[in-house]
């Protein structure tokens, strides 16, 4: 239309300018995401005196004094260990309960199916970390307060809706015919599941397990409310924000970010498939 009136060479110029703008836009967005992380790691990998000094250099001196200071700080290794324990438990609990539910939703038609699905989706309209408040009382009564298991149960509640919806979509993506073929060849329902469906679904299940791990690893509010002695890394960092020196904060922040970077990289193939269906 209006393009037609533009003579040849000018149109090419417009195109080139457009491409340049497009590239510049992408570069800007990439920098916007990466530069702040770079700054955090520059701080974490510089000596404490450089972290508090001014003006700052924009590349790290690879002095590990900050990291050592963080590692040797009272309670840090304990908190790290607790974070890992809680996250692994969360992973096991949420997948252990979520995967069977996801399988049931994908393979069976039964009364109450839609009700359960809506229920799971509905939980997302609630601010789940707030569950920590009433559960704190409940846990004191049952002796679960300030334990790794207690916190893992709350984190599992955060991760369960995702686990159900993600495994639901995973199993739905595996043709029923494969299973039926196994049955006609003499497999029981369980055998068919273990030998045919599970190998196909396993990478996806592993990805959702990693996702559950990240949810727990990153959670701050419930962890800070429910733990006192057995703090996770996030709870530890939050509680010591007022008193801890800057190098400790930044090394701690980097310790939180690093595993997340690796995990997101590990599940990058599944990220979009997971969220695409977590949708409807």
Residues 160-199 that bind other proteins (CB under 8 A): 160, 164, 189
- The footprint of other proteins on residues 205-224 (CB under 8 A) is 214, 217-221, 224
Q: Which stretch binds other proteins (CB under 8 A): 65-73, 172-180, 198-206, 270-278?
A: 270-278
Interaction of residue 24 with other proteins, rule CB under 8 A? no
Site string for other proteins, 117-136 (x = CB under 8 A): --xx--xxxxx-xxx-xxxx
Q: Is 256 in the site for other proteins (CB under 8 A)?
A: yes
The piece of 60-68, 71-79, 201-209, 233-241 that touches other proteins (CB under 8 A) is 233-241
The yes or no reply on residue 246 touching other proteins (CB under 8 A) is yes
Phi and psi at 188, nearest 5°, equal -80, 170
**Segment interacting with other proteins, rule: CB under 8 A, options 8-16, 153-161, 172-180, 194-202:** 153-161
Q: In residues, how long is the chain?
A: 280
Query: Residue 100, interface with other proteins (CB under 8 A)?
Result: yes
* Sole window of 64-72, 74-82, 174-182, 243-251 interacting with other proteins (rule: CB under 8 A): 243-251
200 binds other proteins (CB under 8 A): no
């Amino acid at each position: 239309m209006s393009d037609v009136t533009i003579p040849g060479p000018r149109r090419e110029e417009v195109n080139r300018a457009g491409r340049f703008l497009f590239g510049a836009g992408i570069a800007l967005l990439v920098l916007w995401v990466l530069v702040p992380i770079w700054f955090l790691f520059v701080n974490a990998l510089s000596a404490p005196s450089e972290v508090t000094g001014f003006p700052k250099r924009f590349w790290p001196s690879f002095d590990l004094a900050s990291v050592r200071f963080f590692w040797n700080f009272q309670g840090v290794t304990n908190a790290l260990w607790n974070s890992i324990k809680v996250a692994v438990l969360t992973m096991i609990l949420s997948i252990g309960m979520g995967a069977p539910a996801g399988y049931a939703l994908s393979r069976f038609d039964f009364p109450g199916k839609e009700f359960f699905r809506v229920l799971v989706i509905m939980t997302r309209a609630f601010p789940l970390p707030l569950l920590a408040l009433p559960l704190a009382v409940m846990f004191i009564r049952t002796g679960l307060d300030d334990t790794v298991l207690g916190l893992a149960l709350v984190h599992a509640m955060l991760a369960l809706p995702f686990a159900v919806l993600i495994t639901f979509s995973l199993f739905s993506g595996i043709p029923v015919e494969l299973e039926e073929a196994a049955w006609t060849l003499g497999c029981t329902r369980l055998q068919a599941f273990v030998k045919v469906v599970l190998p196909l679904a396993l990478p996806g299940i592993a990805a959702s397990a990693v996702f559950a791990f990240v949810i727990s690893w990153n959670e701050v509010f419930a962890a800070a409310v429910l733990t006192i002695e057995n703090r996770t890394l996030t709870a530890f960092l939050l509680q010591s924000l007022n008193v801890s020196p800057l190098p400790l904060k930044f090394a701690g922040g980097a310790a939180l970010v690093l595993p997340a970077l690796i995990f997101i990289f590990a599940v990058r193939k599944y990220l979009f498939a997971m969220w695409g269906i977590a949708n409807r």
